[in-house]
């Protein structure tokens, strides 16, 4: 290892490119150096500038590197941790793991942080545990240190004692991401004042107010993933900690805020008097997705249609009765807003209730699904002052409602806040943590733009891919089948699906090739339809004279010299069938054939989610079918023309429509056949919102009229 003038001389001998030292600085760093070195200004909260990287290639080989300028005003000739194998970066072995650290170099060098990551991992610890153990020793030094670790399987670990740590990662199969990671060591052992098998409670390392405390769930589980008894027990212990903080800091009450992760913030509210007064804010904010924090600020008033749609979805899961219970367990002349809501005196979007509690959506939510939970009797807005058993009952109810919100919105976590600022009535605010991922993400590749469409389910994200090929399982025509097509109820419409008669290796080749082409083409307009053929197949078609409509595959007598290959005939956003191309393109890529397949599989939930259109800058699009609910002879009526006369406000949103039954068509009773016949199809466009679109679809379906004449 060469430093100083010796390294400069060696560089000249090796013919390495040289630049003046000014090349390695910036105006900001030069100004900072001037203040620290020449003016003697003490460094406070300086930003660490070390950059580290770890790379894993397709063969499982790892490499790590780092770069730093060192601390400002360092001694001439100083060698920091970044250049030292085992300190600033480390390697267990070429097939195991690499680590890279950033922070206070002298302490990192002393504790050999990167080397310890590799040592613990090689001894059998998981990568995450190894990284955490290696950094644990740094917490006692009081300096900042952060590290990233990567193993040969692509597992990534990030640990940091710093308040924020900038991290980015990317791969050939995932969209690049960059974010600021908060500290993973928010509580130092010396700051802890309570600990049991479940919780560690102490003063925050990075407080936002005097006495800011944190309750950390030791298992690392998110707050509402705890079982109800464990959750309630944890909240009782938090309440005890609040009593300690109130006594020590001489405050009347404390607030609680959590984003639903493994930590809860307990905030002493300094300056509040014993007499309650409302504290309000004129600042409004609204976020469709999680902005990185939870807030109890109001949002702009949400339109009733969207609240109806959200509450309906939650009610289906919570099974709220269609006849709500308006029992209020305190004085009936109580004029408090929550008392009036419980008694049903004002408009509300109730989503759940039991004998002692009511939960409802607030119309001034700052994110979709923001819910307020209240007891049926008027208790203090200071939740932590509520006596047992009421306190535990409210916590159990909060756990239950949070579970419903997580399920409905497909959220991994649910935030929780109670501070009692605006309304003097006990209430818990529950905030579903919506994923920050967009409905679809676009990443550049060398040849084509690849787009990943993520269909959001109520319980989780779903990736839907349906390669429909003539020779594959999804063929509706029976071609390529070694058995007769299987009857299937596709959207309650008669159809058949034929299994493939191809050899397993050829079927796998067909599937893998079409999937690869679909990915490269990009899911720009929805789930694609793909037609392909196997060339040089070991099978050939044979026709049975008794069933010429069902050609069968059988082994060829003469074996092909060349290996099987796939010929792609067509890839587009068209579902098979007459007029489907037009419908698909006008529906902004909604693949009706994919819906058919999901229906055939009985997967109603994914089918419903896939049918929800994607948002676009110019508005929202959706289509719908009208089915015959009774049997008879279809009598032609001017359905859409009459709608234009009877309900012009609805009709004006219909962009396109099509009649699917011919006049005089005979339709069997669905109750007997178990199958629907579709009468008409229509496409709707809204400039307002997705909920407005869904309300339009519902209202138009209920307003369209046609007649079925009974069979004679």
Residues with a catalytic annotation lie at 50
Q: Tell me 430's DSSP state.
A: E
Q: Tell me 438's DSSP state.
A: -
Cα–Cα dist 527/509, whole Å? 20
What does residue 10 show for φ and ψ, rounded to 5 degrees? -65, -40
User: Which residues have a Cβ under 8 Å from the Cβ of 601 and sit 6 or more positions away?
Assistant: none
Nearest Cα neighbor of 593 from 467, 481, 484 is: 467
- Six-digit token pair at 550? 């069902």
> Residues, the chain, total?
712
Residue with tokens 């009774």: 630
DSSP line for 523-551? -SSSSPEEEEEEET-SEEEEEETTEEEEE
DSSP line for 634-694? EEP--HHHHHHHH-HHHHTTEEEEEE-S-TT-EE--HHHHS--EEEEEEEEEESS-HHHHH
Cβ atoms 251, 270 nearer than 8 A: yes
What does residue 465 show for φ and ψ, rounded to 5 degrees? -135, 120
Cβ atoms 377, 343 nearer than 8 A: no
Alpha-carbon separation of residue 655 from 110, 613, 618, 637 (angstroms): 70, 15, 14, 19
Cα–Cα dist 494/379, whole Å? 59
Cβ atoms 113, 102 nearer than 8 A: no
State the angle between helix axes of 304-318 and 690-703 in degrees (0 to 180), rounded to the nearest 10.
Answer: 80
Cβ count near 70 (within 10 Å)? 16
Q: Are strands 529-535 and 539-544 parallel, antiparallel or unpaired?
A: unpaired
Cβ count near 337 (within 10 Å)? 14
Cα–Cα dist 75/82, whole Å? 16
Nearest Cα neighbor of 463 from 590, 573, 610 is: 610
Q: Which parts of 127-227 fold into alpha helices (H)?
A: 127-136
DSSP line for 61-129? -EEEEEE---STTPPTT---STTSBTTTEEES-TTSEEEEEEE-HHHHHHHTHHHHHHHHHHTT--HHH
Alpha-carbon separation of residue 160 from 64, 82, 263 (angstroms): 18, 16, 16
Q: Residue 358's beta-bridge partner residues?
A: 353, 374
Q: Which residues of 594-607 are buried (b: 16+ CB within 10 A; e: fewer)?
A: bbbbbbbeebeebb
Q: Tell me 225's DSSP state.
A: G
Alpha-carbon separation of residue 23 from 18, 29, 71, 138 (angstroms): 10, 12, 18, 33
What does residue 450 show for φ and ψ, rounded to 5 degrees? -100, 125
Nearest Cα neighbor of 89 from 65, 70, 67 is: 65
Cβ count near 239 (within 10 Å)? 20
* Cis peptide upstream of residue 389 (ω within 30 degrees of 0): yes
What does residue 431 show for φ and ψ, rounded to 5 degrees? -125, 110
Three-class secondary structure of residue 326 per DSSP: coil
Q: Are strands 349-353 and 357-361 parallel, antiparallel or unpaired?
A: antiparallel
Nearest Cα neighbor of 89 from 99, 102, 80, 97 is: 99
């Amino acid at each position: 290892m060469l430093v100083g003038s010796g390294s400069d001389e060696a560089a000249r001998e090796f013919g390495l490119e040289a630049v003046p030292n000014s090349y390695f600085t910036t105006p900001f760093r030069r100004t900072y150096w001037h203040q620290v070195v020449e003016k003697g200004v003490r460094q406070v909260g300086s930003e660490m500038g070390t950059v580290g990287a770890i790379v894993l290639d397709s063969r499982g080989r790892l490499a790590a590197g780092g770069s730093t300028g060192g601390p400002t005003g360092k001694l001439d000739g100083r060698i920091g941790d970044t250049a030292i194998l085992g300190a600033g970066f480390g390697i267990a072995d070429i097939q195991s793991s690499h680590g890279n650290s950033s922070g206070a170099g002298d302490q990192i060098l002393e504790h050999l942080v990167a080397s310890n990551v590799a040592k613990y991992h090689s001894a059998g610890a998981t990568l995450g545990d190894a990284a955490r153990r290696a950094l644990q020793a740094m917490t006692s030094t009081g300096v900042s240190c952060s590290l990233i670790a990567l193993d040969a399987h692509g597992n990534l670990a990030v640990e940091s004692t710093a308040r924020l740590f900038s991290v980015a990662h990317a791969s050939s199969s995932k969209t690049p991401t960059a974010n600021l990671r908060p500290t993973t060591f928010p509580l130092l052992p010396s700051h802890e004042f309570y600990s049991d098998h479940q919780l560690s409670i102490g003063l925050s390392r990075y407080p936002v107010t005097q006495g800011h405390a944190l309750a950390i769930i030791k298992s690392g589980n998110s707050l509402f993933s705890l079982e109800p008894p464990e959750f309630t027990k944890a909240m009782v212990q938090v309440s005890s900690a609040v009593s300690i903080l109130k006594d020590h800091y001489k405050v009347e009450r404390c607030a609680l805020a959590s984003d639903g992760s493994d930590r809860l913030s307990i905030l002493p509210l300094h300056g509040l008097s014993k007499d309650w007064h409302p504290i309000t804010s004129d600042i409004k904010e609204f976020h469709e997705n999680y902005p990185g924090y939870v807030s109890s600020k109001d949002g702009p008033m949400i339109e009733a249609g969207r609240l109806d749609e959200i509450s309906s979805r939650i009610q289906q899961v919570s099974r709220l009765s269609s006849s709500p219970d308006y029992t209020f367990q305190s004085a009936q002349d109580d004029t408090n807003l929550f008392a009036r809501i419980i008694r049903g005196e004002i408009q509300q979007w109730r989503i759940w209730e039991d004998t002692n509690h009511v939960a409802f959506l607030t119309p001034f939510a700052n994110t979709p699904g923001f819910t307020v939970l209240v007891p049926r009797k008027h208790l203090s807005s200071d939740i932590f002052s509520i006596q047992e058993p009421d306190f535990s009952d409210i916590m159990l109810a909060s756990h239950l409602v949070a579970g419903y919100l997580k399920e409905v919105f497909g959220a991994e976590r649910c935030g929780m806040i109670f501070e009692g600022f605006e309304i003097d009535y006990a209430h818990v605010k529950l905030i579903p943590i919506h994923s920050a991922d967009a409905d679809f993400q676009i990443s550049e590749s060398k040849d084509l733009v690849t787009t990943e469409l993520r269909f959001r389910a109520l319980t989780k994200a779903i990736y839907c891919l349906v390669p429909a090929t003539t020779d594959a399982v999804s063929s509706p025509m029976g071609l390529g089948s070694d058995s007769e097509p299987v009857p299937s109820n596709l959207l309650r419409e008669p159809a058949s699906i034929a299994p493939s008669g191809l050899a397993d290796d050829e079927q796998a080749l067909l599937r893998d090739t079409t999937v690869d082409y679909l990915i490269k083409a990009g899911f720009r307009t929805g789930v694609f339809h793909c037609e392909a053929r196997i060339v040089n197949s070991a099978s050939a078609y044979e026709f049975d004279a008794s069933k010429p409509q069902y050609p069968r595959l059988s082994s060829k007598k003469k074996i092909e010299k060349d290996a099987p290959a796939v010929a792609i005939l067509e890839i587009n956003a068209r579902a098979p069938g007459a007029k489907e191309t037009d419908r698909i393109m006008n529906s902004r890529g909604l693949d009706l054939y994919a819906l058919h397949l999901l229906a055939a599989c009985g997967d109603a939930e994914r089918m419903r989610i896939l049918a929800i259109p994607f948002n676009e800058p110019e508005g929202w699009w959706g289509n719908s079918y009208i089915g015959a609910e009774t049997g008879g002879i279809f009598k032609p009526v001017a359905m859409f023309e009459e709608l234009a006369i009877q309900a012009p406000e609805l009709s004006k949103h219909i962009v396109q429509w099509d009649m699917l039954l011919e006049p005089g068509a005979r339709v069997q009773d669905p109750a007997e056949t178990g199958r629907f016949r579709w009468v008409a199809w229509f496409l709707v466009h809204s400039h307002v919102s997705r909920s407005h679109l869904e309300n339009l679809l519902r209202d138009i379906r209920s307003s369209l009229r046609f007649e079925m004449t009974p069979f004679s």
